[in-house]
Amino acid sequence: MADNGYLSTVIVLSGGLSHERDVSLRSGRRVSQALRSRGYEVVESDVDSSLLARLAELTGSVAFPVLHGEAGEDGALREVFDLLGVPFVGSVGSACRVAFDKSIATTVVGASGIRTPTQVALPYETFRELGAQVLVKALGDQVGFPMMVKPSRCGSALGCSKVTRADELPAAMVGAYAYGSVAVIEEFVEGTEVTVAVVDRGHGPIALPAVEIRPESGVYDYTARYTAGATRFLCPAEVEHDVANRCADVALRVHAALGLRDLSRTDLILTSEGEPVFLEVNVSPGMTETSAVPLAIETAGWSLGKMCADLVQAAAARGGKARTISLAAR
Amino acid sequence: MLERLRRQDTRLDDYIDRYAARAHGMTASAIRALFAVANRPEVVSLAGGMPNITDLPLDVVGSALNDLVQHDGRRAMQYGSGQGEPVIREAICEVMRLEEIAAHPDDVMVTVGSQQGLDLLTRIFCNPGDVVLCEAPSYVGALGVFRSYQCDVVHVAMDDQGLNPGALTEAIEALRAVGRTVKFLYTIPSYHNPAGVTQPLDRRIEVLRVAEQADLLVVEDNPYGLLGFDGEPIPPLRSLSEHHVIYLGSFSKTFAPGFRVGWVLAPHAVREKLVLAQEAATLCPPVFSQFAVAAYLANHDWRGQIKIFREMYRERRDAMIAGLTSHMPAGTTWTQPEGGFFVWLSLPPGIDSHAMLPRAVTARVAYVPGTAFYADGLGSRHMRLSYCFPTPERIIEGTRRLGEVLEYEARMLEIFGTAVEPESGRLDLGPREAPGPDQA
């Protein structure tokens, strides 16, 4: 029996077929362990053709998706949960769809008055149709160097490059397109890298203390993210109180502007003037041993188990959405 | 809330300042992480090198293990000799006789897979900064061992007939001219991993001549030697030279890898050192595994079983070659393996196997980028394809998917021109770019 005696089974979903499967499996194990420590019965599940049957068997349970990358963060699976009336932790599918795509999320967040980098989003077909040479030159002129090139729909810094010269841009574009058909090319914002988690444990969203990220190599790439010891984290970030409050405020506004629910993590760059600039938001932030959110939770004096348990309880209390197909009828 | 909090300043590894320098390269890799997806059934994995033991008679193995526990369990579950049990060393000599290697059981030391033999050899021979010569490309697991002992790997050119003796001579001379210590040549003459080529006899004789003239030790790794498909097997280097060749053998491909039984055949003095190194590392190789393999060899037609394996792998090799012939775009070439598990694919100029792996995984096909098999960042125009594990139908489907990915890459190349990084641009990738041993 779980610690509040209300619900006992949670299906923690991790893995999937995205490029971030390995990270997701690690996050899933940690969340499962945290929930078990609070007395929950946890069923760890991959996302495959047996998932729906498993959900049908476990009627009344709550799904906790800890999936990173496509099919986990793009909202598709959450739409399925709603369709089937399965209560789940996290944002609804429509909000995820917007938040997961960097080009769309940046536009929405920018429209809410938060500073965002100058950004251009281009599918690879555009280069094919219009010619790369002209477009590469235009990007250099418009965005300027250095610039960041990223896949529009991917996480863990996969396919991301910092480009300092025009002749590096084609390789960076190819690198980004390896992870998806649309790339974003954006202004490189110099400053301090921080990330802020927002959690709603049933009483409204709260920003956790900002985590400042200082990769030893200077680049917070995949290796720096998932090799213990490769990055120095400071939590709360080593910034003035008013700057820290500004970061928290921006993260809460991002959470609200995108219509997110339960949990999100907003990545920011703090300029030398202490202004937070939005980089991206994660609807299913990493929960691995080297991830920032568990560190922020610990710094806030919470436990990961208690926080996950509260999110599960909130999801259970919400219940599944009204639906036309019920699991019981399957 | 913020005012009350005590700042944590952490690298999330409390031991970070205590690791030896040799642990510094042990980091996470985005490419390696992609292989987690490759193990899903939706993906045709042509990446892993896991032996296919579907045809192994489990009833025979089970019965042999049962007898072992019943009749000799106390001995099998006790510590044993650091050199390995006499019964298995005798059996190993019998196995090696199939390849014309004459050896005495005293000269054999049993290891935890031949991988441990490689580790112990590097341990007893190499100081940090010593040079080990390897083929270009070379076995990823060997590169990992050499790196962990802080050796410098220098690659020597090979072609469709294996290691080039002329290039070997040049490499030795060039290194010695600048005062470098070259400790040994590591080579896989038969059914090379990853290159899928086999060195003909005249080349072998020439390589040995070069090595003997330069007084260079040769470490011959021969895990696939009995898995040839066509013609008579070519004698291993060790059968041609006793004094300059240290030989590594394994039951992982001819029986099953889970027992982790391999061996080193070495000159007496080297073997003495190896046994001491083995005792320091493990006290003794697993006795139960040694007795189990010996029981299998004694009670089963293992020669017949190897023939079954050989036919099974031949069928898969044929499927791979047929699939590549049907689906690879112009400008792609590949080796024609006469045995073993692997094909080495060379891509049209400008296409980068390392950069395109994420797209291949999205297309549900996986391979190992060529960069995994070089210690110096080269190899991006190549990839290793394994045919050992999937069914022939899956292999053909995998090549079809790969062909589509390569066509997409060609379009990207058309759009972005020379978009790939130069071949020498990514130093020190090596073993971080290959799947783990548990991946098919």
Question: Contacts of residue A206 in chain B, CB cutoff 8 Å?
Answer: 1
> Which of B293, B27, B75 shows the shortest CA–CA distance to A224?
B27
- Residue of A221, A261, A235, A278 lying closest to A75 (CA atoms): A261
Q: Are A2 and A56 in contact (CB under 8 A)?
A: no
**Separation of alpha carbons A130 and A109, rounded Å:** 29
Query: Is the Cβ pair A174, B419 closer than 8 Å?
Result: yes
Structure tokens at A310: 């509260």
Q: Residue A111's pLDDT is what? A: 97
Cβ–Cβ contacts within 10 Å for residue A207, how many? 24
For an interface test with A, give the residue of B4, B6, B11 to mutate (most A CBs within 10 A): B11
**Residue B3, CA distances (Å) to A211, A242, A249 in order:** 15, 11, 16
Contact call for residues B28 and A22 (beta carbons, < 8 A): no
Record: contact B30-A177, CB cut-off 8 A: no
Q: Is B310 exposed, middle or buried (0-12, 13-18, 19+ CB in 10 A)?
A: middle
CB contact under 8 A, A244 and B2: yes
Q: How far is B106 from chain A (nearest CA, A)?
A: 44
Is the Cβ of B36 closer than 8 Å to some Cβ of chain A? yes
What order of strands is seen across the sheet that includes strand A62-65?
A: A41-45, A9-13, A62-65
d(CA B439, CA B367) in angstroms, rounded, equals: 12
Q: Using the Cα atoms of residue B302, residue B308, residue B312 and residue B313 in order, give the sign of their dihedral.
A: positive
A272 Cβ neighbours under 8 A, 6+ residues apart: A190, A191
Other Cβ atoms within 10 Å of A128 Cβ, number: 14
**B35 → chain A, closest CA residue:** A22
For A222, which residue in chain B has the nearest alpha carbon? B30
List, for residues B327-337, the tens digit of each pLDDT value.
999 999 999 99
- A15, A29 Cβ separation under 8 angstroms: no
What whole-number distance in Å separates Cα of residue B368 and Cα of residue B373?
9
B355: part of which helix (H) or strand (E)? Answer: helix B353-362
Q: What is the pLDDT of residue B24?
A: 79
Q: Are B373 and B431 in contact (CB under 8 A)?
A: no
Answer yes or no: is pLDDT of A187 > 60: yes
Paired sense of beta strands A119-123 and A147-151, if any: unpaired
- The answer, yes or no, to whether residue A228 has pLDDT greater than 70, is yes
Mutual angle of helices B268-282 and B113-125, in 10-degree steps:
110
Say yes or no for a CB contact (<8 Å) between A235 and B7: yes
- CB B362 to CB A19 under 8 A? yes
Residue B23 contacts A, CB cutoff 8 Å: no
Query: What integer is the mean pLDDT of A68-82?
Result: 90
**C-alpha triplet B87, B93, B95: angle, nearest 5°:** 105
Q: How confident is the model at residue A329 (pLDDT cuts 50, 70, 90)?
A: very low
> Would the CB atoms of A171 and B421 count as touching at under 8 Å?
yes
When scoring A14, A18, A19, A243 by the number of chain B Cβ atoms within 10 A, the one with the most, hence best to mutate, is: A19
d(CA A40, CA A57): 17
If pLDDT is split at 50, 70 and 90, which confidence band does B418 have? low
Contact B411 A23 (CB under 8 A): no
Chain A / chain B CB contacts < 8 angstroms: 134
Instruction: Please give the DSSP secondary-structure letter assigned to residue B3.
Output: G
Beta carbons of B416 and A173 less than 8 Å apart: yes
Q: What pLDDT is stored for residue B431 in this prediction? A: 62
Of A170, A234, A299, Cβ closest to residue B417: A170
Q: What percent of chain A has pLDDT over 70?
A: 95
pTM: predicted TM-score of the whole model, two decimal places: 0.92
pLDDT tens per residue across span B230-285: 888 899 999 999 989 999 999 999 999 999 999 999 999 999 999 999 999 999 99
